[in-house]
Structure 1
């Protein structure tokens, strides 16, 4: 997407977001992946992503604290981790139809959906930061809750760490721990993709992908838990 075309698309995005920006250059920056820019100091969304992650965490933690007065710190932490995960942020990006507004470099134009999930998640956090810097915390919180409120009430937000859950389930089912095997590392150095296979003795294996081995292992573990009915798909 060239610069002029991208600028004319911003009002469409503002309409989808329900937020009008006084600083559209910052909004454009929130949509700019590092692969589009040249040079170490070229501007992209990464600094905004850092800030947006903290604003998102604060807004979700604040709401969880109010919604679940009897929950202990452990339950609240589990819910928070699920709700601010890359998987959840990417789902929000898809609901907004955000992918068509993100500016990628040529090498990222034709990547598969799974490959760009983490990028879509990062851009959601960058957008949250842009809203926060433009309008303040209350407007940013309102934006977050519009897209997260129904998830705050979901049983899925109370799921434990998938690797911990899989390990305990595997011990109950087989008496042995699950194993993880790195199948592939691909992509450029600034955006690596790891493919990992998770196996439980006596059950079919599953694979997962992520920007780190841990993320890929987590996805593979989640797939087994969902497939075997340990977790429900909701």
Structure 2
């Protein structure tokens, strides 16, 4: 109907989404984030985003697994498959809620709690998804018994490494962007380009080392 041949259409792949579509969305959210309110309520936001998201993913995944064991779905489902699915549906994007909050001018603390949780929630679900995806690949290749206790510990530790590493990457690129922008005030026409280019390069550098590019955008 669009006049484009089917063989010319580009399918939506995870690589296309994570490298080209997600960065500008997260950059826009991080750029317009009220920093002072965010860091003043960081503990509460982390409680909702990290503990709440992990609880949701485990609760949904285990509920689906035991419902399948009871025969509700007609056939059993592997535990890792249900956890992988639950990690994708645990992400919350309260765009409509935030739009209503902004229109009726709710309490600023309530607004930043919902806004900050929605940002960090995406980062947590991406980490959970990659962790469960790795476990599922190991189980399909060598069986569930091939996953050793050290693998579970490594997955738990990788959550902190990816999160803290992405944050550290954002701090480094933030200082670098601030340093470069000191010498661009005479060339106003290219100054905005540095903001976008360095922000995108910081995202790519975080993804290259398998760190959290979303958390890097927030800290930069």
TM-score, normalising length: structure 2: 0.29
Determine which structure has the larger strand proportion and give its number.
1
Higher relative contact order, structure no. (Cα contacts within 8 Å, ≥ 6 residues apart): 2
Considering only CA atoms, is the larger Rg found in Structure 1 or Structure 2? Answer: 2
More helix by share: 2
